[in-house]
Structure 1
Amino acid sequence: MNASNDDAGGGGPVIAFFDVDNTLMRGASVYHVGGGAYRRGYVTLRDLLRFAWTQARFVAVGENLRHLEIVREKALGLAVGIPQSEVEQLAEEIFDSKIQPRLWPESVGLAREHIAMGHQVWLVTATPSVVANVIARRLGLTGAIGTELETSDGHYTGNLIGHMLHGPLKADAARGLAERIGSALSECWAYSDSRNDLPLLELAGHRVVVNPDSVLLRHAVTHGWSIMNLNKKSIRAARRRLRREAN
């Protein structure tokens, strides 16, 4: 997909789309939801160990659709019957105790630099929106688009609204947002570590791969995309690129 041929128009704000897991933070955010749910008695130790295995594999080899499906199944199962207000409170606690210490300061700093330049910064993630919204708000970002969990009478049903936000569905959600607010996709930015986010990266005019997996790294090199490794030299280069290309 070529951003110049799929432009949402002009005159609207520039958007920077950020993946969350292994882009904004180390590891999978939903794993920590599982840990918090265990501490509250929502899941068993066996469930938690399965979350831990998935997290370890995710950190070691990168995002894998089967791993995400395992996490999704467990997350939906633990959500059945739980009041929405309790999960919102849990998300706040998890941000403070588990997510914030695992944030990449460099990636967060770049997101905030976009905000300082007048851009909107949206998280686009498979993480449940109840968690993604907390991350965005606590970091001072514009907002988040995440996987939507169904509720009935203020309690989670264990069902999704639509599908898990992953792969091409992330790109669809980003395109829809750009269309609603009149942003030109050719002027927008996208950041991710994963091959699964190629549709999202290809949507934006400015693509930055962050600590990319091997497949995404090869694609980025072949197509001349910007590559940001989390070291001082690479971060400085990314910030110079942002300032130069945003003007």
Structure 2
Amino acid sequence: MVAFFDVDNTLLRGASIYHLGRGARRRGMLRLRDLVRFGWHQARFVAVGENGRHLVGLRERALQLINGRSEQELEEIAEEVYDDFIARRLWPETVELAREHLRKGHEVWLITATPLVVARVIAARLGLTGALGTRLESVDGLYTGALAGPMLHGEQKVTAATTLAGFLDSNLADCWAYSDSRNDIPLLELVGNRVVVNPDALLARHARTHGWSTLRLRPSSIRRAQRLVRREARPARGKKKRRT
């Protein structure tokens, strides 16, 4: 059984790519005006949620940022920004929900449009099973400034989750998904158990219409969500965890 967690504004307050930009700025890889643009996207993202145009803008600036840089350097930056920026911005309530699934013996996978190198660091530091994220193209250990396939967003998350569940021989009707974004409605509809977390306006309406569980990050809400997992999630049966 798998629990899929979105990252930005679900597990983490704001956009993880912004913090990658902060780490790059500290290393002299990013101009101040570019960081200001990242910051504007971050503020809007926190206030109103993601939309396609802003997501494309962040993606294009991130790809420009890494063009010609080494895989090792980006991995180092990802570790640094987790310690310096990301760790203290994690929603403790959502992290605890992920750990509740782990205690049930479930696999817990991050599924996010953020670069895989960042998602893997977050998953590893939290002791989660693994991460699915946007893959960046590299040649001979250097990034080209292009994507290695489509961005993991919208329907692409459905494809990735379906593939992983099949590989793990896990029934999607038994799986769980957590997200804040309207763009993840296809992923949420894919699984048998879904929880919307601090949803944007469109997702909140969709959740009300379909009777989906909604988690507002307050102590009472987290207790209800934990009870839901304990009561309704079946324990996993003796499967080894796999990481990617």
Q: Report the TM-score range of the alignment, normalised by the length of the smaller protein.
A: over 0.9
Equivalent residue, structure 2, for 1:202: 189
* Deviation at residue 215 of structure 1 after TM alignment: 0.6
Query: SS where residue 23 of structure 1 aligns?
Result: coil
Matched, 1:179 2:179: no
| 1:88 to 2:80 alignment | no
CA distance in 2, matches of 1:95, 1:189: 25
Matching residue's letter, 1:95: Y
Q: Secondary structure at the match of 1:164?
A: coil
User: Which stretches in structure 1 are left out of the alignment for 5+ residues?
Assistant: 1-13
Shift of 1:80: 0.7
Residue 57 of structure 1: SS of its match in structure 2?
Answer: helix
Correspondence for 1:217? 204
Structure 1 distance, partners of 2:28, 2:224, is 46
**Distance in 1 (alpha carbons) for counterparts of 2:208 and 2:195:** 11
Counting only pairs closer than 5 Å after superposition, residues 85-124 of structure 1 correspond to structure 2 as 85-124=72-111
- Cα separation, 2, equivalents of 1:109 and 1:235: 9
CA distance in 1, matches of 2:21, 2:54: 14
Q: Compute the displacement of 1:211 (Å).
A: 0.5
1:4 alignment counterpart: none
Q: TM-score, normalised by structure 2?
A: 0.95
Greater than 6 Å deviation, 4+ residue runs: none
Match of 2:18 in 1: 31
Gap regions ≥5 residues in structure 2? 235-244
**Counterpart among 129, 142, 145 of residue 116 in structure 2:** 129
Structure 1 counterpart SS, 2:29? coil
The equivalent position to 1:227 in structure 2, one of 208, 211, 214, is 214
Aligned residue for 1:52? Answer: 39
One of 121, 139, 149 as aligned partner of 1:152: 139
* Number of aligned residues: 234
- TM-score normalised to structure 1 length: 0.94
Letter of the 2:66 partner, please give it. A
Q: Which amino acid aligns with 1:51?
A: F
Give the structure 2 partner of residue 163 of structure 1: 150
* Structural RMSD (CA): 0.6
Percentage of pairs with the same residue: 65
